[in-house]
Structure 1
Amino acid sequence: MQEFADIFHNQTLLVAVLACLTAQGLKLAIELIRKRRVNLNYLVTTGGMPSAHSALVGSLATYIGLNMGWSSPEFAIACLFAVIVMYDAAGVRQAAGKQAKILNQIVDELFQEKHHFNEERLKELLGHTPFQVVVGLLLGIGIAMLFSTYSSLQIS
C-alpha cells in the first residue's frame, strides 16, 4: 500500500500533471476571453492553445534535468520522449485534424439535400500549430523551474 501512496509524493510526476492541468485551464480561460462564454469541454479536449501535451512533457524533461542533471540518462529519455510527443502534436495529429475538417465538409456538401444519413462528425481539433506547441513547452519549462526553485527553498 505504501507504494501506491509514494505515487502521490513523486514531485516529478506532480510537476508534470500540474503543468498539464494549468495548460488545460488556460485553454478554458482563452476560450472564455475569445468567445465570452464558458465551454467546460476545453478542460478535457485535445488541441487548442496552449498544448497541454507539450506543457506536460516539457515540464517533465525540465524537472528531471534540473534535479538529476542535464547529462543524466533520465533527462535524455525524458527529452526524447518530449520531442516525440511534440512532433506528434504538431505533425501527425494536426494533419489528422485537417483531414477530419475536409471530410466533414465533403459530408456536408454531399448530404445538403435532406438525405437521411446518420453522420457522426469527425473531431477537427486534434493537434496543435507549432506556435501552440512552443507556448505549451515554455509553460511547462516555466512551471518546472518555479516548482524546482520553490522546492529548493523549502529544503534550505
Structure 2
Amino acid sequence: MKTLQNLLTHPIFLSGIFAWFSAQFIKAIVSIFRTRGKMRKRDLFLSLVWSTGGMPSSHSAVVAAVTVAVGIKTGFDSILFIVSFFFA
C-alpha cells in the first residue's frame, strides 16, 4: 500500500497526470466554443474525461511533461533523462 501511495504522490507521476488533465480540459473548452455552448453537461463530462484525438494531444502532453520532470529531478545530463528524451 505504501508503494502505491509513493507512486501517486511522486512529482514525476503528478506532472504526467497534471499534463493529461490540462490537455483534456483544454479539449473540453474548445468543444464548448465549437458547439457555441449547446453541449449537454453529460457530453461535456465525457469529452473532458474520455475524448480521444484532436489537439492538444494528451499523450504528447504526458510524454513531454514526464520527460521534462525527469530532467529537472535527475538532471538534464543524466542517463535517465537521455533515455526518456529519446523515447519521447
- Shared fold, TM over 0.5: yes
Offset from partner CA, 1:97-155 (integer Å, 9 cap, x none): xxxxxxxxxxxxxxxxxxxxxxxxxxxxxxxxxxxxxxxxxxxxxxxxxxxxxxxxxxx
When Rg is computed on C-alpha atoms for both structures, the one with the higher figure is 1
1:65 and 2:71 correspond:
yes
Offset from partner CA, 1:8-49 (integer Å, 9 cap, x none): 221100111110111001000011011123343322122112
Number of equivalences? 82
Shift of 1:5: 1.4
1:42 and 2:47 correspond:
yes
1:3-152 equivalent positions in 2, closer than 5 A: 3-36=3-36, 37-38=38-39, 39-40=43-44, 41-43=46-48, 44-82=50-88
SS in 2 for 1:70: coil
TM-score (norm 1): 0.49
Offset from partner CA, 1:37-86 (integer Å, 9 cap, x none): 3343322122112111111000000111112111212112221221xxxx
Q: Distance in 2 between matches of 1:56 and 1:63?
A: 10
Q: Which residue of 2 aligns with 1:86?
A: none
Q: Which runs of 5+ in 1 are unaligned?
A: 83-156
Report percent identity of matched pairs. Answer: 32
Moved over 6 A (4+): none
TM-score (norm 2): 0.82
Which shows bigger deviation, 12-21 or 42-51?
Answer: 42-51
